[in-house]
Amino acid sequence: MRAVILDGRGSIEIRELPDPEPGPGEVVIAPAAVGICGTDLHLAHGDYPTGRFPVVPGHEFAGTVVSVGLGVERFAAGDRVCVDPNVACGVCEQCQAGATNLCPELMAIGVTVDGACAELVRVPNKVVYRLPEGLDFATGALIEPLACVLHAASRIRPLKGLRVLVYGAGSIGLLAVAYATAQGARSIGVIEPSTVRRDAAVEFGADAVHAPGERPAGHDVDLVIEASGHPSAVSDALERLAKRGTLLQMGVVSPEFSIELFPYDLFDRELSLVGSQSLATAYPDAVAAVLDLPRLSEGMVTHTFGLEDYAAALEAAGSDGARKVHILPQR
C-alpha cells in the first residue's frame, strides 16, 4: 500500500509499505477521507512533543472496513465506519476518572502509531464506530474535531447566555462557533486574520468578526475559546476576560513559546484558565451530535488532495483560504 511518512525533521515521503493484516481484536480500514489539522502541521515540523517518528499521519478519518481479526463480531468487510484515534489503556487512574486523553499509556493513531494517510490502516476494534446511515465520509472525518469541541465544552460551565469570543476560525474554531450558537450563547465574536475564514465564521453563527487588532479592548467576555495556537492570541485573550471569565485553551501552541502572566489578575478578577486537550470520552457523543449538523462537510471542507500531494495539502491547510483540508487516500 501507499502511505505518507513523516520523519519529525520536516521530511515528507510517499512510500510503499506492506498491507496491514488484522490481529485479534483489530480491524483494517480503507480510509476514504482524512482531515488535516494543526496537530499534523506540528508533526510535520517535528515540534509536537508526543509524536513518535517515523509515523504515518492521519487521525481524523472515516472509511470502509476491509477485513477483521479474530474475535471481532461488531464489524464486517464493507461496513462504513469512523474511528476515535485515542487508544487508552482503560485501567489507569486517568482512564478510570474518564480522562482517557491523559492516559500515560495512550496510543494516538496518526501521532504515536501509524494513522490513516495511507491506503489501509489497522486499528483496534474498540475505537471503531459505525458511520450513521446516510452520512458521507467527509462528514465522518469531521466527527473527531467535533468530539474535541464537545470535550472542551464539558470542561466549562454551560454556554447559554455567555458572551463568547473565539480566536481562530479554522475547523475547531468554526465548530466551536456552531456549538456555542446551538447552546444559546448571548453573543459570539471571532478574531481571525483571514477574510475567507471570517466569512465562514459568520456562516457558522458568529455575530461579529474582527481581524487581529481591530476589536476594541476591554474586559467584556465571559468565555474565550482560544483555537488558533498563537501565543499572542493567548495573551490578548487574557486581557479580554470579564470578572470570573474563563479562558478555554484548545489551540496547540509550540512548546518553546511562553507568555507573560500576571497572577494578580487571576486573583483580582477571579479568572479561570482551563486546558482542553484532544477528546477524552466524547467521540460517541460526537457520532450522535453530527446528525444535528446537516451538510457540515459542504460548509467546512474547502480542499481535497490525494496521498501523493500531502505536502501541498499541508501548505493549503496553513493558508488563509482553507477551512478544512481532506486527504482522499483512495483517489
Cα(3)–Cα(57) distance, rounded to whole angstroms? 9
Q: Is the peptide bond before 85 cis (omega within 30 degrees of 0)?
A: no
Task: Note the pLDDT of residue 318.
Answer: 87
Task: Note the pLDDT of residue 36.
Answer: 97
pTM, rounded to two decimals: 0.95
Cα(53)–Cα(152) distance, rounded to whole angstroms? 28
2-144+279-327: CATH class: alpha beta
**CA-derived radius of gyration, the chain:** 20
Nearest to 80 by CA among 148, 27, 13, 40: 27
Cα(64)–Cα(53) distance, rounded to whole angstroms? 26
Please report where in the chains the cell 515540534 appears, as a residue: 47
Domain boundaries defined on the chain = 2-144+279-327, 156-275
Fold classification of 156-275 (topology level): Rossmann fold (3.40.50)
CA atoms in the 13 A half-sphere facing the CB of 94: 12
Cα(311)–Cα(4) distance, rounded to whole angstroms? 10
Task: Note the pLDDT of residue 241.
Answer: 97
Buried b (16+ CB within 10 A) or exposed e, 84-101: bbbbbeeebebbeeebbb
Q: What are the 10-residue block averages of pLDDT along the chain, 331 residues in total?
A: 94 96 98 94 84 95 98 98 98 97 97 97 98 96 98 98 97 96 97 93 97 93 96 96 98 90 96 97 97 90 97 93 94 90
Please report where in the chains the cell 467584556 appears, as a residue: 220
Please report where in the chains the cell 477483521 appears, as a residue: 68
DSSP 168-224: --SHHHHHHHHHHHHTT-SEEEEE-S-HHHHHHHHHTT-SEEE-TTTSPP-S-EEEE
